[in-house]
Amino acid sequence: MQQFLDVAPGIRLWTEQRGAADAPPLLLVMGAQATGVGWPDELVDALAEHHRVIRYDHRDTGRSTWSYDDRPYRIADLADDVIAVLDGLGIERAHLVGMSLGGMLAQMVLADHPDRWIGATLIGTMALSTTPYTAPDGTVVPVGELPGIAPEVLEMWARPVEDHGPEAEVARRLEHWRVLAGGQLPFDADHYAALERRVIAHTGHHRVGTAHGRADDSGMLRTAELARNEVPTLVIAAPAEPVFPPPHPQHLAQCIGGAHVVEIPGMGHALPPAVQGPLAEAILAHTGAGAGAGS
């Protein structure tokens, strides 16, 4: 079921729900400039066997309002949208799954609205905390000395984007996914090409959004609040992750009270078919303890 929600003056978000209406809700929050369609249908359907799964388009993505150029907003407003989606759908409490920027938004709403969450899963993201990382050998590593984004990713992001039509744009995005996938698993070009064609069809155009990279990201740290967290939290570790490489997942789990880590072999900063089954199993194992705990 698809539905549009008015979450702020002049801002309307596209949402989709799958699964039984009376199943425990599970909200999926995608990364920067990524639509809700970026959550693969196969993964969504696997989760929907046990949950009322909600995915949505951020502002300036997909079918939601594209407003940044006329009315700039903050990353914090995207976090407010997470709560607004729950409110708009009449959901009191839900499980939460966030990837990349979505994982940062998830941390913000975990810290600011802990009463709204049954549990949380964080994928491909970094800690919104100044707490240093303690390595297995006891070495203490300041946050600023943790590994950064892989050079090949930065190089890709620095390239100017030119419009040569939708098929050329699909090809450009395919190469982007090749870098993000991390190289440990065979690259499934057909999967990513089909994904991007679905995204373009869903959005209605192939223009590249840049709003989230330009938005004010001040005030995102939640060091003390995350340390006090009591919401059961799963951190997914991806060994081939090129954006937030290990030990970022382990650091994230150290920063969030009660968090634990599960590794998905071969995973990078992407959701190809090879990782969808293990990822669904990990998420469902985590939500099992809270299933039926509220809606």
pLDDT in tens, 20-54: 999 999 999 999 999 999 999 999 999 999 999 99
Rounded Cα distance, 264 and 279, in Å: 7
What was the pLDDT predicted at 32? 96
Residue 62 has which token pair? Answer: 């997909």
Q: Looking at the predicted structure, is the pLDDT value of residue 180 above 60?
A: yes
204: exposed, middle or buried (Cβ count in 10 Å: 0-12, 13-18, 19+): exposed
Q: Looking at the predicted structure, is the pLDDT value of residue 294 above 90?
A: no
Which of 99, 123, 120, 74 is CA-nearest to residue 226?
120
What was the pLDDT predicted at 230? 97
Gyration radius of the chain's alpha carbons: 18
Rounded Cα distance, 247 and 135, in Å: 8
Q: Looking at the predicted structure, is the pLDDT value of residue 200 above 80?
A: yes
Rounded Cα distance, 134 and 141, in Å: 6
Query: What average pLDDT does the structure give for the chain?
Result: 95
Domain boundaries, the chain: 2-149+211-288
Rounded Cα distance, 93 and 148, in Å: 34
CATH number of the 2-149+211-288 domain:
3.40.50.1820
Amino acid at 55: R
Rounded Cα distance, 141 and 182, in Å: 24
- Neighbour count for residue 222 (Cβ, 10 Å): 22
pLDDT confidence of 9, banded at 50, 70, 90? very high
Question: Stretch 257-269: mean pLDDT, rounded?
Answer: 97
Rounded Cα distance, 217 and 105, in Å: 11
